[in-house]
Amino acid sequence: PFGRSSMLTLSAAAALAYSPTVAAPHARTSAASVSSRASAPRLGLLQKLGLRRGARFADDLGLPCVDECAVASYPNLPPSVHPGVVTGQALVDLLQHAKENRYAIPAVNCVTSSSVNTCLEAARKADAPIIIQFSSGGSQFYAGKGLDNTDYKAAIAGAVSGAYHVRAMAEQYGVPVILHTDHCAKNLLPWLDGMLAASERYYAAHREPLFSSHMIDLSEEPLEENIDICVEYLQRMAKLDMLLEMELGITGGEEDGVDNEDANPEDLYSKPEEIWQVYEKLSAVPNGRFTVAAAFGNVHGVYAPGNVKLDPEILGNAQTFIADKVSSSDAKPVSFVFHGGSGSDLKDIKQAIDYGVVKMNIDTDTQWSYWDGIRAYYKKYEPYLNSQIGNPDGADKPNKKFYDPRMPVRSAEETTVARLGQCFSDLNCVDVF
């Protein structure tokens, strides 16, 4: 059902589903005018198509998408999936397409507008969707570390600010984006409450949530409490057509203040019966949409090859167990999330995808690639970076163009785009459009 096609026509029904705005509808442009600028640089399938699409967030900002980014839908994705932030049924359709076609979508933790734009650039080069996510610490940094974070005010403001930036720019790049937030432990639930309040206000105006989804990580709590709180939040999120990612079992290592380096080895591996408990309770929530971050030996951080002992068979066994429980014809009823993949063997990653992983978190590797770009820039231009005036070209020569912050930041973006290209390839997430 998702075969390739050279046509990108948008049916009236799909067009209506694609326009969530409650206010007076915007004028829509044709979805059949192909850009003829043969001299434009190659930017993947989107440039080849260059089709206009209906008004969205960018139009409200006075930045309508034109030419390469103005596609209405994609030939190989469900018609509900469109450029920009996807929510509700479009989000479900995209994740189901990933599971059926055996690819996983990279989920990258972002802390600045630069890291967001880097993700969008990489996704466009790969002709693939991407998940952009913010942690509580990353959200606070996005707001500015000088801002008071009492009651997580700065983290809430940073996440909301980042969400609006993603919404504005994702459409300009012409790629579908799942807008997500990462690990929310029990003490961070006020942060989640603030973001949900923002989505509730956004939903009242636009009939879709600000964010696509949120993660609740109560893996350190008793399983029953973990499930009960997730059910409570899923009931609230379901009214907004949002998806919940929940975690059970523990992902080892340390990430963004969550330290499980001394975790009991048994807790690093979830049991099928535990995953079934989660699936049964969350499936009972009307309009409930969810993914499961089950533990199968995952460890946050970076480790030498061979030191991370993954057991993807846990996911396969859980799929079989749950499919039998619900008498489902779907051999993979659960959509799994892969945390802590740095240092994992590629064959384990591929096997996990075969067992229903649709999302893989990436943080440690992109942190390094971003730094590596800055480091490389400094090493290359060090003689020009020691003073404002004076360099190997002359004692009175200015160095402004070398210490301009945009120069090392762009170098960092380029190395990270390249690293993400490898991630897209490893996850079978290339040429998805």
Amino acid occupying residue 243: L
DSSP sequence for 204-253: HHHSS-SSSEEEEE-TTS-HHHHHHHHHHHHHHHHTTT-EEEEEES--BE
159 and 133 Cβ atoms separated by less than 8 Å: no
User: Which residues, at least 6 apart from 223, have a Cβ–Cβ distance to it below 8 Å?
Assistant: 248, 274, 277
Active site residue 182: yes
Q: Cα(424)–Cα(119) distance, rounded to whole angstroms?
A: 11
Rounded distance between C-alpha atoms, residue 187 and residue 257, angstroms = 12
Two structure tokens written together for 42? 């190659």
Distance CA 331, CA 20 (A): 33
DSSP bridge partners of 109: 133
Q: Where are the alpha helices (DSSP H) in 113-222?
A: 113-126, 136-143, 153-173, 189-206
Catalytic residue among 182, 217, 348, 365: 182
Encode 119-150: b = buried (16+ Cβ within 10 Å), e = exposed.
bbbbbbbbbbbbbbbbbbbbbbbbbeeeeebe
- Collapsing DSSP to helix, strand or coil, 125 comes out as helix
Q: Token digits for 267?
A: 């807790």
Of the candidates 146, 229, 172, the one whose C-alpha atom is nearest the C-alpha of residue 53 is: 172
424 Cβ contact list (under 8 Å, min separation 6): 106, 122, 123, 126, 128, 430
Cα–Cα dist 325/273, whole Å: 10
User: Looking at the annotation, which residues are catalytic?
Assistant: 182
